[in-house]
Amino acid sequence: MPEQQFKLHPRLAADTHWVCDWPASTVLLMNDTRFPWLVLVPRVPDVVELFQLSAQQQQAVFREIVVLGEAVQSLFGADKINTGALGNLVSQLHIHVIARFSGDCAWPGPVWGVGQVQPYAEPVLAQRLDDLRAGLPKP
């Protein structure tokens, strides 16, 4: 993939913490303790919609969506995985993979735009990033 021109959107960078780079996408943790909330950003410049990826890129990104969803459910014991590519606020293609629990503060609605973000405090953040880096498989 032509990564030389890819640059993470500043809003995504501000709202998240970097977890790791997978072959096609960068894995980010949304800075919000209310939900175990990961974001995949395909490292392809100037792509807004899934269908703008090449067939090869689509296959790699979809593989990573599935692997991340299964890992997040397993790591957090989620009741449901919510997967979404919206991009109404930040057009750079990014895919949310969120562990949902019946009874979480947005259940059964979607998480986007609901309530107030609760950022991670430092020791909890470091532990969560360690857990994710140790627990996420290689896609």
The footprint of its own copies (CB under 8 A) covers 48-51, 58-59, 62, 65-67, 69-70, 73, 80-89, 91, 100, 102, 107-110, 112-113
The nearest distance, CB 37 to its own copies, in angstroms, is 14
Residue with tokens 């790699």: 60
The nearest distance, CB 93 to its own copies, in angstroms, is 10
The residue (of 75 and 125) whose beta carbon lies closer to its own copies is: 75
Peptide bond into 42 cis (omega under 30): no
Using CA atoms, how far apart are residues 63 and 58, in angstroms rounded to an integer? 8
Do 75 and 131 meet the contact criterion of CB atoms below 8 Å apart?
yes
The residue (of 91 and 118) whose beta carbon lies closer to its own copies is: 91
| Tokens representing residue 43 in the block | 């490292």
The residue (of 110 and 125) whose beta carbon lies closer to its own copies is: 110
The residue (of 76 and 120) whose beta carbon lies closer to its own copies is: 76
The nearest distance, CB 97 to its own copies, in angstroms, is 10
Using CA atoms, how far apart are residues 46 and 38, in angstroms rounded to an integer? 21
The nearest distance, CB 47 to its own copies, in angstroms, is 12
Peptide bond into 108 cis (omega under 30): yes
